[in-house]
Amino acid sequence: MTNSGYILEMHNIRKEFPGVLALDDVQLTLKKGEVHVLLGENGAGKSTLMKILSGAYSKDSGEIFIDGSLTEIQSPAHAQELGIGIIYQEFNLNPYLSVAENIFLGREPVYFPGIIHWDRLYREAQSILDSLNVNINAKQKVESLGVAMQQMVEVAKALSLKARILIMDEPTASLSNKEIESLFKTIMHLKQQGVAIVYISHRLVEIFEIGDRVTVLRDGKYIGTKPVSQLTREEMIKMMVNRDLDDQIPKVKAEIGEIVLQVDNLNVNNRLKEISFKLRKGEVLGISGLMGAGRTRLAKTLFGDEIITSGRILIDGREVTLKSPRDAINVGIGLVTEDRKSEGLILDLSVKHNISLPNINKFIKGGVLNFKKENAVADEYIGKLKIRTPSRNQNTIYLSGGNQQKVVLSKWLCSDTKIFIFDEPTRGIDVGAKTEIYQLMNRLTANGAAIIMISSEMPEILGMSDRILVMRDGRIAGELSDSEATQEKLMNLALGEPYEAAV
């Protein structure tokens, strides 16, 4: 059943993580000398698929053929032997070693074991660099190179391992236009040498410029593979997002009241630019966008955890200075962080101690903690939010994701929060608990709270939001009302470029 025209075939790849089906029957084929674009939203399964290809994860089922023969990729080292190289967004280079040392790290040519053959090391490294047509001296320290050149060192390293399949994960994310141009030249060069490239990027313009074929994934499923030349931008976006929204998100609209939060022309250190918006009582304001668009930074800024360069934040019409999370808590803002394990909870503290932490003064009388009150309040929230825990004294590390999230929520409920910022509120949470979180949000807005909800999940953001802001490159790229928002429009704004031209 194998077609000898392909250097790599991945068939029916399936990978399940506890509670999540990350890949479901996914296909990918690579031809010699092609640039194959892997396209999909955040969390579509691109990274998981590439981790399986590069040996970091093992698949649950499915078949991988390399050069037509069935192959089990055992480990990253095995993947290297098979000629599969991967260049992550975060480079794995030692900045204090030379370019040549980095390229051959752990595989240095030697006279005899233990004694490095420096001449050969530099000569071989230089010849690889020269073959890439890049102007890098093999003896240079990596720290003296810019990002684009460091990336070239990664490419050289992969080639030194005789990579025939090269995976590039958002290679242009931190490059300037000129650097992108030179990267593309290198990619063309690699194509001519017969290297097959898996190219992950969200920049559709680049895909049209450099891609040969594109494979689209959505929610861990294989959507299709087509030649880039046969697709329009709109068709690509449709493939990425065109899912049925028959979901049961139990949104209950609340009465929208007066403005509780107003942000005027907020700038943070070139990371957030000219952000302005208003948030009303009873409203869920969704914030959509790709990873790295600045959504989490905006959340942290509103929570007093970033230094504001310029701009104003008004709460109930009064300007406030938010210099620390404490300031934000005091004006009624609560942040449910993206990563509850590293930022939301103290895992070695009990449920009750986590709940009382942000507003511990409530439980202090004459300088002493009032355990009775603390216990009572903890029990109250365990009951109200149906937190499944053997007791209030259980350390939160032993709770499931959904129940941990409910503990985080209790922290803010207990602190009289009026403005809730949810950053990916249902990430890593099972379906049942998700519904409970949505119902809690409904209850919050019904009681007059306002919610900012950052989410990468389209059904969630479309289902729960009264209004949606789309962020891109630290800016608000657009605003859509509940009725006009569609998956295509959100993705179009998040990706940028032509949409703006069309407007």
Binding residues vs another protein (CB under 8 A):
303, 305, 324-326, 328-330, 335, 337, 342-349, 353, 356-361, 364, 367-369, 395, 411
Q: Which is nearer to another protein, 39 or 345 (CB)?
A: 345
The rounded radius of gyration (Å) of the Cα atoms in the chain is 26
Our measurement of the distance from residue 66's CA atom to the centroid of its chain's CA atoms, rounded to an integer in Å, reads 30
Closest CB 346 distance from another protein, rounded Å: 4
What HEC string does 355-399 produce?
HHHHHHHHHEECCEECHHHHHHHHHHHHHHCCCCCCCCCCEHHHC
Q: How far is the CB of 433 from another protein (least distance, A)?
A: 20
Q: How far apart are CA 426 and CA 343, in angstroms?
A: 15
Report the residue number, 50 or 302, with the smaller CB distance to another protein: 302
Integer Cα distance of 143 and 154 in angstroms: 13
The answer to whether residues 426 and 456 touch, using CB atoms and an 8 Å cutoff, is: no
Complex with another protein: residue 46 or 297, whichever CB lies closer: 297
Structure tokens at 442: 């409904």
Comparison of 74 and 324: residue with beta carbon closer to another protein: 324
Q: How far is CA 133 from the centre of its chain?
A: 33
Reading the block at residue 84, the tokens are 């599969």
- Shorter beta-carbon distance to another protein: residue 27 or 395: 395
Q: Which is nearer to another protein, 317 or 367 (CB)?
A: 367
- Put the strands of the sheet holding 310-315 in their side by side order: 272-280, 259-268, 310-315, 318-320
Instruction: Work out the number of other CB atoms within 10 angstroms of the CB of residue 448.
Output: 13
The nearest distance, CB 78 to another protein, in angstroms, is 29
Least separation in angstroms between CB 111 and another protein: 40
Q: How far is the CB of 62 from another protein (least distance, A)?
A: 32
Pairing of strands 284-289, 467-472: parallel
Work out how close the CB of 345 gets to another protein at its nearest, in angstroms, rounded to a whole number: 6
Which lies closer to another protein via its Cβ, residue 359 or residue 455?
Answer: 359
Closest CA to 166 of 148, 137, 189, 141: 189
* Burial degree of 142 (CB within 10 A; 0-12, 13-18, 19+): buried
Q: At closest approach, how far in Å is the CB of 303 from another protein?
A: 7
Residue type, 64: I
- Nearest CB to another protein, comparing residues 229 and 361: 361
Report helix, strand and coil shares of the chain as percent, to nearest 5. Answer: 35, 25, 35
Rank residues 259 and 349 by Cβ distance to another protein and give the closer one.
349
**Residue 427 per-residue DSSP state:** T
Q: What is the DSSP letter of 144?
A: G
What's the min distance (Å) between Cβ of 218 and another protein?
Answer: 33
Q: Which of 151, 219, 233 is nearest to 186 (CA)?
A: 151
CB of 162 to another protein, least distance (A): 40
